[in-house]
Structure 1
Amino acid sequence: MKSALDRNPMEGKKVIFVENQNEKENADGVCGHLEAVGESDYSPSFYEKYIKRVIDIVLSFGGLVILSPVYLAIIIAIKVDDPGPVLFTQKRLGQNKKYFKLHKFRSMKMSTPHDVPTHMLDNPDQYITKVGKWMRSHSVDELPQIWDIFVGNMSVIGPRPGLWNQDVLTAERDKYNANDVKPGLTGWAQINGRDELEIPDKAKLDGEYVKSIGLGMDIKCFLGSLGVFGGDKSVVEGGTGEMKKNSEGK
């Protein structure tokens, strides 16, 4: 039996998206596939390879220790609201398009389809638990990713990791080398619109981060993300897809 985290055939490749209506619809809602057009030639800086990793280890370890009582309270709340697993895992795209398993606190009901982004669900609100609604609006459901940072699959700051089958997003990010850095818990796109952004705009902002990556940029993203935990009005259940539906309906 093959593992769900088998090697991505596009790992380390530069890709483009080829639209084809005869193929299966991907997680971005478009029919087509990724096609390799070369090898990635991105060269990480000294800051990315060493300093950023040390910062990630220190912050993630401290976060795991300090937030342990919060984790316990959330676990109890999830269990009471909708019995089932506390953690939700998904196959995501990591640095250089390598697959990894991302962890979240489960905010959706057990009946929710797996590996389907929220904007692809019909009426996504029906799948979200009461506790989950609060967690998502305050980004609390993302807290288990502190472990993903500690083990090296993610960074505190970086482009948000896309689903393994979000081919349009992957291709757009490749235009800006945004797939060549570690994905993050938060990033430049998250503090500049989040769900209000279309895929090309998100990818462009991720590219701006990669172009300016450094301690100053990471501090700016980190400080800009602190307000999210007070309630993020840019979170739209269903994301850009839901906003399109509402716009078309009007």
Structure 2
Amino acid sequence: MNKLTGPLAEVAQADQVERKIAPSLERRRLRAYALLILSDAILLNLAFALASLIYEGEWWQARNMLVVQTILPVYFTIALYNESYGGKALSNWIFAAKQALTALLISAALLNFVAFYTKSNAQFSRVSVTLGLIIAAAALLALRRLMPVLVERFWGGRTLNRLIIADGGPHFTLSKAVTIAAQKYGLDPASHDPFMLDRLGRLLQNQDKVVVSCPTERRQAWAFLLKSAGVYGEIVSEPAHALGASDVHRYEGQGRTTLVVSTGPLGLRSRISKRLFDITVAATALIVLSPVLIFTAVRIKLDDGGPVLFIQRRLGRGNQFFNMFKFRSMRVEQNDANGDTSTAREDDRITPIGKFIRRTSIDELPQLINVLRGDMSIVGPRPHALGSRANNKFFWEVDAQYWRRHCLKPGLTGLAQVRGHRGATEQEKDLTDRLQSDLEYISRWSLRRDLEIVFKTVLVLRHDNAY
């Protein structure tokens, strides 16, 4: 029988590592972006109102305000796509000013282009509009210059979490970065111990950039782990610096170059849209399906008086553990906490009501709570129990690429499931088929594809392999 590097009974070992060594800056940055957007809207309106007062003697003159209301949607569209509201804009005021002024200039040019062809130029005062643009540009420039000062004052100048993992490689430092020793935390990139991976996932949580300094022979293993964790990762490389390699990051001050080996599967906008999709679908489903949830809970309780929910530790995003909720479908004394034994057809551990809710996938519905908590997504690679096996091998022993599927949050449903890859993993192919679908989903993610998978899931709720 194969055994884990660390025994399953020592799951608590992973909890000894601090949940996160870096605060979540994403909400902080989102608030800053929202403040910038609101401030830009106010400043542009005030700029054109002031221009009309200076030139025409009338505050908030209607023609001028119509111009700014026309410019604003175009300005925000361009600004959102040219990173005027990105992380770099919070710390580099010259970059931020350049992007904002570019968005304003293009917006004004498009407005003039449309006005020319619709013959509406005569309705506007050229002097007043030009003066409004000049005042708006000055205001945007002043605001961008002020932002780094505010960031330094209230956030200590920190807009990004950066972590350096020292694993026996050349000395490397980075401003405002946290440095940890791999040995201190028992981090071994060559190990497939899920407890070690959970510790690493906790350390990488909320990190915007991770730099690893390690010997040459360990770089490939670290590159694989960083990809699996779904973070932006770099590896220090002295030869790359000596060769003057491109597509790398060069830190001239200390004569070091890092190789970019992973970037995470989704950008900020994609993560926001996916999370909004998750919350909307999960909240709606919980409300609509509440009669089914209540009836099922009551039926399970009346069946044998045991707990309604079965809570099992699963592997989630960044190879971190989380507690997944399901309606209990097995007898209390025969619950398999670690998933060591796959469920078989006519499994005598399953209760009468359990057979029905497993066959119809109702047992999975409590995972909607996991989605609202942020442990899971509506669509993503399905989370597996730690003791799951295929052909008497742990999943990561069948294919080491298995860990890469954890760079996204696990899903209530997924591409593998709608393709029919469900049920027990008796053969290695049962696992590799699912893994192939999961990696395909990660590499080609889109919100449209999530919608397609949700609709297709409805058609396969009942399946021959659902038992």
Structure-2-length-normalised TM-score: 0.42
User: In the alignment, which residue of structure 1 is the partner of 2:349?
Assistant: 127
Report the 3-state secondary structure (helix = DSSP H, G, I; strand = E; otherwise coil) of the residue aligned with 1:103.
Answer: strand
**1:95 matched to 2:353:** no
Q: Give 1:93 deviation, angstroms.
A: 0.4
Aligned AA (1:45):
L
User: In the alignment, which residue of structure 1 is the partner of 2:459?
Assistant: 227
Report the 3-state secondary structure (helix = DSSP H, G, I; strand = E; otherwise coil) of the residue aligned with 1:111.
Answer: helix
Identity %: 31
Report the 3-state secondary structure (helix = DSSP H, G, I; strand = E; otherwise coil) of the residue aligned with 1:100.
Answer: strand
User: Does the CA-based 8 Å contact 1:93-1:162 persist in structure 2?
Assistant: yes
User: In the alignment, which residue of structure 2 is the partner of 1:24?
Assistant: none
Q: Which moved more, 1:173-182 or 1:137-146?
A: 173-182
Q: Give 1:122 deviation, angstroms.
A: 7.7
- Deviation string 1:149-197 (CA, Å, 9 cap, x unpaired) is 0010000000110113447324637358311100000001111121276
User: In the alignment, which residue of structure 1 is the partner of 2:294?
Assistant: 72
- The RMSD of aligned alpha carbons is 2.7
Cα distance change of structure 1 residues 146 and 94 upon mapping to structure 2, 3 Å threshold: same
Cα distance change of structure 1 residues 216 and 210 upon mapping to structure 2, 3 Å threshold: same
Cα distance change of structure 1 residues 66 and 122 upon mapping to structure 2, 3 Å threshold: closer
Separation in 2, partners of 1:4, 1:87: 25
Q: Which has the higher helix share?
A: 2
The counterpart of 1:45, out of the listed 266, 279, 296, is 266
Q: How many residues align?
A: 213
Aligned AA (2:417):
Q
Report the 3-state secondary structure (helix = DSSP H, G, I; strand = E; otherwise coil) of the residue aligned with 2:363.
Answer: helix
Structure-1-length-normalised TM-score: 0.76
User: In the alignment, which residue of structure 1 is the partner of 2:440?
Assistant: 208
Q: Which moved more, 1:138-147 or 1:156-165?
A: 156-165
Aligned AA (1:174):
Q
Q: Give 1:217 deviation, angstroms.
A: 1.6
User: Does the CA-based 8 Å contact 1:99-1:164 persist in structure 2?
Assistant: no
Unaligned runs of 5+ in 2: 1-9, 18-194, 202-219, 231-263
Structure-to-structure mapping, 1:234-245, within 5 angstroms: 234-235=465-466, 237=467
**1:174 matched to 2:361:** no
User: Does the CA-based 8 Å contact 2:396-2:403 persist in structure 1?
Assistant: no
Report the 3-state secondary structure (helix = DSSP H, G, I; strand = E; otherwise coil) of the residue aligned with 2:348.
Answer: helix
Separation in 1, partners of 2:302, 2:360: 20
User: Does the CA-based 8 Å contact 1:176-1:206 persist in structure 2?
Assistant: no
Separation in 2, partners of 1:121, 1:192: 20
Separation in 2, partners of 1:93, 1:48: 22
Aligned AA (1:195):
G
Separation in 2, partners of 1:71, 1:4: 35
Q: Give 1:124 deviation, angstroms.
A: 6.0
User: In the alignment, which residue of structure 2 is the partner of 1:195?
Assistant: 423
Separation in 1, partners of 2:324, 2:354: 17
Unaligned runs of 5+ in 1: 14-35, 238-250
Aligned AA (2:292):
V
Separation in 2, partners of 1:173, 1:183: 18
The counterpart of 1:82, out of the listed 295, 304, 311, is 304
Aligned AA (1:221):
I
User: In the alignment, which residue of structure 2 is the partner of 1:32?
Assistant: none
Cα distance change of structure 1 residues 191 and 118 upon mapping to structure 2, 3 Å threshold: farther
User: In the alignment, which residue of structure 2 is the partner of 1:19?
Assistant: none
Separation in 2, partners of 1:211, 1:204: 11
Report the 3-state secondary structure (helix = DSSP H, G, I; strand = E; otherwise coil) of the residue aligned with 2:287.
Answer: helix
Aligned AA (1:217):
R
Q: Give 1:63 deviation, angstroms.
A: 1.7
User: Does the CA-based 8 Å contact 2:311-2:323 persist in structure 1?
Assistant: yes
Cα distance change of structure 1 residues 109 and 59 upon mapping to structure 2, 3 Å threshold: same
User: In the alignment, which residue of structure 2 is the partner of 1:104?
Assistant: 326
Aligned AA (1:233):
D
